[in-house]
Amino acid sequence: MKPERLSQLSPERRAAIMKRSMEDVSAIFADMRAICVDIKERGDAVTLEHYAKHKKGIAPADLVVTRKEIERAYDAIDPRVVEKLRFAAANIEKFHLAQRERDMWSIEVAPGILAGRVTRPMDIVGCYVPGRRAAYPSSVLMTVIPAKAAGVPRIVACTPPEEGMVVNDASLVAADIAGVQQLFKMGGPWAVGSMAYGTATVPKVNKIVGPGNRYVTAAKMAVFGEVDIDSPAGPSEILILADDSANPRWLAIDFLSQIEHDPDAAAALVTPSEKLAKAVCREVAKAMKTVPRREIIEKALADNSAVLIADSMDDAIAFTNDYAAEHLEVVTSDPIALLPRIIHAGSIFLGPYAPVPAGDYASGTNHVLPTGQCAKMFSGLSIDDFIKKPTFQYLTRDGLAHLRDAVLTLAEAEGLPLHAQTLRERFGG
């Protein structure tokens, strides 16, 4: 890699850096929607037809994870993994419980007019858990625990099975630790459609959350409105904002760590220090000689990555807010001082000892985050995703009298005479 000057980027090059590999599901949207609609009409039969390739004579019961399978999973995985899943779960729960707000608040808008808001959890939510070759038990914790912290009484999850309708052992254990009541062996649009519309086996949920591939994203977008969904998720990405105080070797490894996920992942570094930019490029070149998953990383480096030299820290910060990264590392001499100037980012990692994997796994913050500049309008997953906030009002007769003229005037202006009549009835015509 070679550093590029931010101020000298062509409009096309800057646009390519900004776009990275934003998820485009337009080509597959119709097909995913068709599968979901088929599930709405025919239920479990659609999913059984799809997974018949995994098991001869498959039945609805084969789509359900049993307690015996979970117990076998505990026996199959390294006890240290179980221990650390529990450790991470405790931190994630602690952080998300701290997000709870007051159950109710109210104000007196005017004498006799009390208005307020209450907080209520959803009844049932569904968590999508990636599986097969991309099994991430940490994502189970990140989706289920916030829902539990929000007070959702019923949480279900779906994860894709492998041959023989077998589910990843670590994901099974993570689901049990997190508190999933029902876990189903299905993935892609079959999982999304089943949770969105409900089947004889899978309950209908209020909201579907969790990361997945482009087929999962397209399916979630297709059922939005029938259920709520979290933000559309694309390939992983990192932006590092740094100055001369940063260790170039550490930055190079942080840079590469996020693009080992996927050839469509993205990494960028922006700094006012030409010296640091060149040093990081040298360290990336050194690391590439021995990194695992080299083919994946090489493609991501070529297609979606950049090391940028800004004319000033102000310019670097402006670029940072425009890029709106999923993961943002701020590695400067005083990162806390820069925090008020960071407007758009999914999750912010401050200082040299806060690499992204700390948040991915165990610091307690959530790793289900908006990608592809969606941090400009979406937040990472939190308990807010699992609650509703109805408003209420209580009015006395004097309070309603205070509003009488305004309501009558506006109702009549909008051509809604019965709206106006509701007040006239209460005040004798």
CB 115 within 8 A of CB 392: yes
CA distance 205 to 158: 12
327, 329, 344, 367: the catalytic one is: 327
Report helix angle 26-42 to 188-197, nearest 10. Answer: 50
Contacts of 267 (CB under 8 A, 6+ apart): 237, 238, 239, 240, 255, 256, 258, 259, 300, 301, 304, 305
Residue 83, Cβ density class (10 Å: 0-12 exposed, 13-18 middle, ≥19 buried): exposed
Name the catalytic one among 326, 329, 367, 402.
Answer: 326
Sequence-ordered list of residues with C-beta below 8 angstroms from that of 217, at least 6 positions apart, any chain: 23, 25, 232, 233, 234
Angle at 97 between CA 92 and CA 103, to 5 degrees: 155
Angle (deg, nearest 10), helices 26-42 and 214-223: 60
CA distance 317 to 344: 10
93 annotated active-site: no
- Annotation says 326 is catalytic: yes
**CB neighbours of 412 closer than 8 A, spacing ≥ 6?**
420
Question: By three-state DSSP, how is residue 266 classified?
Answer: strand
Please check whether residue 39 is in contact with residue 193, taking contact to mean a CB–CB distance below 8 angstroms.
Answer: yes
Active site residues: 326-327
